[in-house]
Amino acid sequence: MQSGEKGGSVFQNRPFSQYGEAFCAGPSQLIYTERVKHMEDQILLTMRNVCKAFPGVRALENAQITLRKGEIHALMGENGAGKSTLIKVLTGVYQFDSGEIRIQGINEPVINRSTLEAQKNGIATVYQEINLCPNLSVAENLFIGREPKSRLGLIDWRTMNKRAKKIMDDLDIDVDVTLTLENYSLAVQQMIAIARAVDMDCRILILDEPTSSLDDGEVAKLFKLMLRLKEEGVGIIFITHFLEQVYMVCDRITVLRNGRFVGEYGVGEMPRVKLVAAMLGKDFDDLASIKPEGGAASSEEVVVEAKGLSHKGKIKPFDFIIRKGEVVGVTGLLGSGRSEMVRCIYGADRAQTGTLKMKGRELKAKAPIDSIKAGMGFLPDDRKADGLIGDLSVRENIILAMQAREGIFKTLPPSKQNELADKFIEMLRIKTASRETPVSQLSGGNQQKVILARWLCTHPDFLILDEPTRGIDVGTKTEFQKLILKFASEGMSVVFISSEIEEMLRTCSRMCVMRDGAKVDEIEGDMTQNSVMAAIAGGEAK
Amino acid sequence: MKRVSINSNTVLLLITIGLFAAMYAAGCVIYADKGFSHFQTFLNVLITNAGLICVACGMTCVMLTGGIDISVGSLIAMDCMILAYSMGVKGYPCVPMLVFVLAIGLVFGLVQGFLVAYMEIQPFIVTMAGMFFARGMTAVISTAQLSITQQSNPQYYAWANAKIELPAFLGYMNNKGAVIVPFIRPTVVIALAVVAIIFLVLRYTKFGRSLYAVGGSESSAKMMGLDVRRTKLKAYVLSSFLCSIGGICYSLNTMAGAVQQAKGFEMEAIASSVIGGTLLTGGVGNVIGSLFGVLINGTINTLVITNGKLLSSWANIATAALLCFFIILQSVFALIKERKK
């Protein structure tokens, strides 16, 4: 597996050695050892009995966490367990209703009223959504609010750029710090956000799902950095969905469930299965037990047939066929053209060549609405940008696609809308206070379910799911996989994209392999993790 | 190997400056016989538009945050009316009145800024209320056409007619053989100083950079520990304050006060900013661009006037065409950027 060390692959469930040489160099650091023991007694931060209610939802009920000096502390829990809320309470984004926060060196209980105040108390945060300004340069994003000044009190751009360059060099990230942030990929932006937090001399660093948009090499860099900070005595709260990563770098785990504190464990004493069980609050629902049932070509009826579709600069001409009741995976490295391929089929990016047939009839999709009318559904990978409308309620978001297909003059009667919304809230187990709650108040996984519900209620014949399980927890992932298989058995054709091969192996009967913007292979039948990875890597790797 | 990359915003600015230069050069060639090529013509564009330059600088600051300030035209009318009434009719001394007008600008900005930043009301609505209020107050002071004369306020009159002469070699010889020395008015110095100061503020101060950050992404700016509300408040205060400075320049130019004065001025300021490369969505733009935006507008007007046969409305049509051109250009650049990703 050479790919891990070079550009990096996207698979998150992989053996530890794939995280690259840089990271493997110091395996001794990884184990929960005596080295940190001497720092252990020093408690940096305690949050006790923290409660926070939103209209209709008790987001936190007596949640707690204790962070010691020089430890990496994983905060785990399902979507909606209250991890993000707890962090936002700590960093002053939300005000908490009751409870107590104490920080070492400050005699009275701390209440942060703003991010700025939290920063002054030594807490730096990197959120899942990148909170940087795309229109400012990289250097400015690192230093804004605390720019180096010349004697005249004006911003000293030269010093700022020089220092920014040094910070980025230290992290081994090759960027031109004078260019605006929008020139760089999400992953680089994420690293810059982390660099900013780290450079602020924080004592407590909070990383909220920092790895979900990073590839292997970048994850390795991040872990190296985290371990360095740990050596320097910084306490790190690390939120992630990747169990592997928890076992790789963390010392301790705090588990939350439904806003309540479940327990605090040392990593050594907590086998994986027990951790998952603690998060789910039940025995681990064995993922392996799901198997594709009606998978392999249960029907001969072709639902979608694409010939020579292409979009200049994004995807080279490709053919694609899917039959009724089939689940087809599209796999490849991040940026290999997975998303571009399905966007082209759906008409989100208009195909420039080729033909597309839907149930035998040629479909000339000028815009997504034509595809929707023909019976397609598309769940995009960037749910914030392409999918959800945050200010609308759960109900409104669910009926959106259906309404679009019916046209604005055939408004659904309210009772019918409510009935539909309730049906899907129950069927997909969407955690929401009510069907009228704005979607933006839901947690990530639940938002994802809302988009899924939106497409399901249009009864599509053909559904495209682009990374539906990214950033959601194990339990919900399993639910998703089960749902996909259920839909397929009911005759829906599904295209499924995921960065986790295992997940696709469990659901797909066939996989298209993408490389460098082209469809290079199609594998079927006896698929294993290794055979898929070999296909992705192509000729050179075996 | 370091590739020199020119950022698309710089390209937009260069296009603006290039367009101005081309337009001016064309005028010099076509209307050479009418004296368009004299340096004084250019200086006159500056003199006429000194007020607009100040206002456009303030507008740019507000637009950088993603906001807008449409009260500026009315505020200028109110400033001019106050000055004309107090000095022209009542004969008050000019220095206290100028200070008073500047103070009004500050208070006006504070109220608007507070409503926008702390009460989180749409800037368009807030400044529209400001627009009606200021225009209304102008009429309350007087509905007559007032003017300041040499008799009513000699000091102010002297300032308005003060000539700052530039080196003689920039001038030209008229047909009688006398050298006509080019000159500017004090208002031009004020306007250019405003441009220079705001340029420095935007580039080299925390406040300036915060304006860009807020316009780029308000929630990010907040998360990065910037005080978004205070930044916005300051932007509106700055806009109204610069507008009052512009009002004084305008008053020095016209020496008059009237209810209908400076009507549509806010739109000219916005147009100048947009032509100068400022995005209505915020986060992109600078005052050098806005300065050239004003100059392009002024040059169009001068060209139409110099022609003499064209209806003055053609200037509006030309501005409209330019606006379209620049807005389309901006979207094209945005699309290219998107494509690159």
CB B64 within 8 A of CB B278: yes
Tell me the two tokens of residue A116: 């700025």
Q: At what angle are helices B228-254 and B186-204 packed, to 10 degrees?
A: 170
> What range does the domain containing A252 cover?
28-122+202-215+229-284
CB of A140 within 8 Å of any CB in chain B? yes
CB contact under 8 A, B209 and A155: yes
Question: What is the spatial order of strands in the sheet that A302-311 belongs to?
Answer: A315-323, A302-311, A353-358, A361-362
In the prediction, which pLDDT does A153 show?
86
Say yes or no to pLDDT of B339 above 90. no
Quote the number of domains for chain A. 4
Kind of pairing between the strands at A510-515 and A353-358: unpaired
Residue whose entry in the numeric block shows the structure tokens 């305690």: A46
Output the CA–CA distances (angstroms, integers) from residue B276 to A14, A417, B192, in the order listed.
52, 49, 16
A132 CA: distance to closest CA in chain B (Å)? 5
CB contact under 8 A, B204 and A140: no
Q: Which residues, in sequence order, are CB contacts of A53 under 8 Å at separation 6+? A: A59, A60, A97
**What are chain B's domains?**
36-334 (1.10.3470)
Name the B residues in 4-23 with CB < 8 Å from any A CB.
5, 7
Q: From the candidates A135, A339, A384, which should be mutated to test the interface with B, based on the most B CB atoms within 10 A?
A: A135
In the prediction, which pLDDT does B258 show?
94
Lowest mean pLDDT segment, chosen from A66-75, A89-98, A205-214, B254-263? A205-214
Same domain, A440 and A466: no
Say yes or no to pLDDT of B294 above 90. yes
3 state SS for A255-299: EEECCEEEEEEEHHHCCHHHHHHHHHCCCCCCHHHCCCCCCCCCC
**In 10 A of CB A82, how many CB atoms?**
27
In the prediction, which pLDDT does B126 show?
96
Q: What is the C-alpha separation between B145 and A527, in angstroms, rounded? A: 88
Same domain, A67 and A174: no
Say yes or no to pLDDT of B341 above 60. no
Q: What is the mean pLDDT of residues A429-456?
A: 81
Can you give the CATH number for the domain in which A98 is found? Answer: 3.40.50.300
Average pLDDT, chain B: 90
* β-bridge mates for residue A512, sequence order: A330, A522
* Cβ–Cβ pairs < 8 A, chains A and B: 76
Q: What is the C-alpha separation between A412 and A409, in angstroms, rounded? A: 9
Same domain, A165 and A280: no
More confident residue, A517 or B124: B124
**CA angle (B313, B318, B322) in 5-degree steps:** 150
Same domain, A257 and A289: no
A313 CA: distance to closest CA in chain B (Å)? 9
Say yes or no to pLDDT of A189 above 70. yes
Beta strands in A121-251 (DSSP E): 123-126, 204-208, 235-239
Same domain, A254 and A332: no
DSSP B298-311: HHHHHHHHHH-SS-
Same domain, A279 and A309: no
In the prediction, which pLDDT does A537 show?
67
Q: What is the C-alpha separation between A503 and A11, in angstroms, rounded? A: 11
The upper half-sphere exposure of residue A349, i.e. CA atoms within 13 Å in the direction of its Cβ, equals 20
Can you list the alpha helix ranges (DSSP code H) found in A322-413?
Answer: 338-346, 368-374, 394-406
Q: What is the mean pLDDT of residues A166-187?
A: 85
Instruction: Encode burial over A364-384: b for 16+ CB neighbours within 10 A, e otherwise.
Output: ebeebeebbebbbbbbbbebe
Q: Does a structural domain hold residue A222?
A: no
CB contact under 8 A, B226 and A196: no
Same domain, A352 and A478: yes
Lowest mean pLDDT segment, chosen from A107-111, B62-66, B250-254, B255-259? A107-111
Output the CA–CA distances (angstroms, integers) from residue A503 to A239, A506, A507, B223, in the order listed.
22, 5, 7, 35
CB B326 within 8 A of CB B284: no
Say yes or no to pLDDT of A37 above 70. no
Tell me the two tokens of residue A335: 């940026």
Q: What is the mean pLDDT of residues B22-44?
A: 88
In the prediction, which pLDDT does A476 show?
75
- Confidence tier at B106 by pLDDT (50, 70, 90): very high
Same domain, A117 and A209: yes
A168 CA: distance to closest CA in chain B (Å)? 16
Pseudo-torsion of CA B104, B107, B112, B114, nearest 10°? 180
* β-bridge mates for residue A462, sequence order: A376, A493
Q: Does a structural domain hold residue A13?
A: no
Q: Does a structural domain hold residue A220?
A: no
Q: What is the mean pLDDT of residues A142-157?
A: 89
Same domain, A179 and A101: no
* β-bridge mates for residue A377, sequence order: A463
CA-wise closest residue to A79 among A438, A397, A353, A445: A445
Can you list the alpha helix ranges (DSSP code H) found in B65-174?
Answer: 72-83, 94-117, 123-141, 154-161
DSSP B239-279: HHHHHHHHHHHHHHHH-EE-TTTTTTHHHHHHHHHHHTT--
Q: What is the mean pLDDT of residues A100-117?
A: 84
Tell me which H or E stretch contains A311.
strand A302-311
- Confidence tier at B201 by pLDDT (50, 70, 90): very high
CB A96 within 8 A of CB A89: yes
Same domain, A335 and A401: no
Q: What is the C-alpha separation between A7 and A233, in angstroms, rounded? A: 31
Can you list the alpha helix ranges (DSSP code H) found in A134-177?
Answer: 138-143, 157-170
Q: What is the C-alpha separation between B9 and B64, in angstroms, rounded? A: 13
Tell me the two tokens of residue B210: 């915060």
In the prediction, which pLDDT does A40 show?
47
* Backbone phi, psi, residue A74, to 5°: -80, 135
Q: Does a structural domain hold residue A1?
A: no
In the prediction, which pLDDT does A115 show?
80
Pseudo-torsion of CA B329, B333, B339, B341, nearest 10°? -160
Q: Which residues, in sequence order, are CB contacts of A76 under 8 Å at separation 6+? A: A83, A239, A240, A246, A253, A254, A255, A256, A275, A279
B-chain residue closest to A92, CA distance: B223
A475 CA: distance to closest CA in chain B (Å)? 31
More confident residue, A419 or B59: B59
Q: Does a structural domain hold residue A12?
A: no
Same domain, A35 and A118: yes
Q: pLDDT by residue (tens digit) across A313-335?
A: 778 888 888 888 888 988 876 66
Q: What is the C-alpha separation between A94 and A98, in angstroms, rounded? A: 12
In the prediction, which pLDDT does B22 show?
93
More confident residue, A266 or A243: A266
Lowest mean pLDDT segment, chosen from A9-23, A67-81, B252-266? A9-23
CB contact under 8 A, B204 and A154: yes
Same domain, A136 and A152: yes
In the prediction, which pLDDT does A298 show?
54
Q: Which of B204, B217, B227 sits opposite A133 (nearest CB)?
A: B217
Burial class (CB in 10 A: 0-12, 13-18, 19+), B139: middle
Q: What is the C-alpha separation between B236 and B66, in angstroms, rounded? A: 12
Classified as helix, coil or strand, A460 is: coil
Q: What is the C-alpha separation between A243 and B204, in angstroms, rounded? A: 45
In the prediction, which pLDDT does A299 show?
64
Tell me the two tokens of residue A223: 């872990």
CB A74 within 8 A of CB A226: no
CB of B277 within 8 Å of any CB in chain A? no
- Confidence tier at B202 by pLDDT (50, 70, 90): very high
Q: pLDDT by residue (tens digit) across A471-520?
A: 677 777 787 888 888 888 888 889 988 877 778 888 888 888 887 778 88
Q: Does a structural domain hold residue A16?
A: no
Classified as helix, coil or strand, A435 is: coil
In this predicted complex, what is the ipTM?
A: 0.83
Last residue of a domain, one of A459, A480, A513: A459
More confident residue, B164 or B180: B164
Chain A residues inside the 8 Å CB shell of B216: 133-136
CB of B215 within 8 Å of any CB in chain A? yes
CB contact under 8 A, A144 and B217: no
